[in-house]
Amino acid sequence: MARTMLLIGTRKGLFIMESDENRTDWKTRGPLCESWPVYHAIHDAASGSIYAAAASEWHGSTVWRSNDLGETWSNSSEGLGYGDDDPRKISKVSTLAVQDGRVLVGVEAPGIFESADGGETWSLLSTLAGQPGSEVWDDPANQPPGHLGISALMPDPDDPKSFIAIVQGIGAYETTDFGGDWTPRNRGLRADWPREHEEVGFCVHRLVRSPTDRNRMYQQNHVGVHRSDDGGKSWNEITGDLPSEFGFAAAVHPHDRETFYVIPLDPGHARCMPEGQAAVWRTRDGGGSWEKLTKGLPQDHAHLGVLRAAMSIDRNDSPGLYFGTSTGQVFASTDEGDNWAEIADHLPTIWSVEVATVD
């Protein structure tokens, strides 16, 4: 029987939650990766390996890997750096993806490294050099910590040479030749601040693509929720009557391109769900209208925050939807968001939740 596995990156290590196909009873393992802060973890279905992007205040950045579904771990940062003579520093490895047989990792300060040997060694693939906006992140005065990085990498399932990289606070860029050339993909987005370039200067929090239609994308932006019907070439706002235009997490239904989920948050200092009432919002018509989903979620002083990589959806016939909070809870729904159950509490601050189905 297939297992459903949640990879939960937290401030105090990686946790793995497992269940059978019913996704009702869950067992938790962890903390893994020696309790290093884990920003993102993925399962590579092709190799069966798990990769975890981690950064320690003491010992720097590395990528952990496990070839036995998390029982044993090793890590390597060999080649994961800009070099002794480069003013750019890596403060953390933020996000992982697998594309064309390579493991990709996005880092802060912005850059993408690749590994062709399953995470044993790394080499620099691209810094998006020369792209509009790169003068900001390449400026030695703007080096991390406290500055911006690659917050997500999104492979194109139909083209092994194509993927999208999101530069935090700058926008999305697409490459179709595996990191050689890049094109900004932000046209039509809103920005409520001055920008130096027409094509960039947008704050893309989370971008997702429909598995049934590669041209259908959604994004939760710093300002608004947006939809693209042309693979990211142009965007239209669909915020509508959501209670907040601000949020981080987003997920698209695996079998229905019109169904999409967001978790609106207070845009101020709180960055929690409005009114202390936990809710996921769903559209079933591509953003034309929104439903508030609360059944099984706490409604009394539930000041929950959910970060950009902390919601995920599986590909079962009745898809499972999962999100983790900044206060260590994990909630799950196996009926498309109608009903929710808390499946973990008291975990460390959750930065990412990824779901994998493994045999």
Give me the least distance between CB of 62 and other proteins, in Å please.
8
Helices of type H across the chain: 134-137
C-beta separation of 352 from 8 below 8 A: yes
Pick the piece of the chain touching other proteins (CB under 8 A) from 79-87, 221-229, 307-315, 321-329: 79-87
* Rounded CA separation 77/32 (Å): 18
User: Among residues 36 and 331, whose Cβ is nearest to other proteins?
Assistant: 36
Of the residues 9, 30, 70, 81, which one makes contact with other proteins according to CB under 8 A: 81
Give me the least distance between CB of 89 and other proteins, in Å please.
7
Of the residues 77, 95, 143, 325, which one makes contact with other proteins according to CB under 8 A: 77
C-beta separation of 42 from 70 below 8 A: no
* Rounded CA separation 134/167 (Å): 9
Listed residue (156, 229, 157) closest to 188, CA to CA: 229
Q: Residue 76, interface with other proteins (CB under 8 A)?
A: yes
Per-position b or e across 253-275, b if 16+ CB within 10 A of its CB: bbebbbbbbbbbbbeeeebbbbe
Q: Residue 83, interface with other proteins (CB under 8 A)?
A: yes
Q: Residue 75, interface with other proteins (CB under 8 A)?
A: yes
User: Among residues 143 and 219, whose Cβ is nearest to other proteins?
Assistant: 143
Q: Residue 58, interface with other proteins (CB under 8 A)?
A: yes
Listed residue (311, 248, 355, 310) closest to 10, CA to CA: 310
Of the residues 78, 159, 230, 335, which one makes contact with other proteins according to CB under 8 A: 78
User: Among residues 78 and 198, whose Cβ is nearest to other proteins?
Assistant: 78
3 state DSSP class of 115 = strand
Give me the least distance between CB of 58 and other proteins, in Å please.
4
3 state DSSP class of 136 = helix
Of the residues 21, 26, 28, 56, which one makes contact with other proteins according to CB under 8 A: 56
**Binders of other proteins among 85-124, rule CB under 8 A?**
86, 89
Q: Residue 57, interface with other proteins (CB under 8 A)?
A: yes
Listed residue (166, 135, 127) closest to 150, CA to CA: 166
Beta bridge partners of 341: 332
Q: Which helix (H) or strand (E) holds 102?
A: strand 102-108
Taking residues 162 to 201 in sequence order and writing x for each that binds other proteins by CB under 8 A, - otherwise, the string is ----------------------------------------
Give me the least distance between CB of 84 and other proteins, in Å please.
5
C-beta separation of 95 from 40 below 8 A: yes
Count of residues that interact with other proteins, criterion CB under 8 A: 17
- Contact footprint for other proteins (CB under 8 A): 34, 56-60, 62, 75-78, 81-84, 86, 89
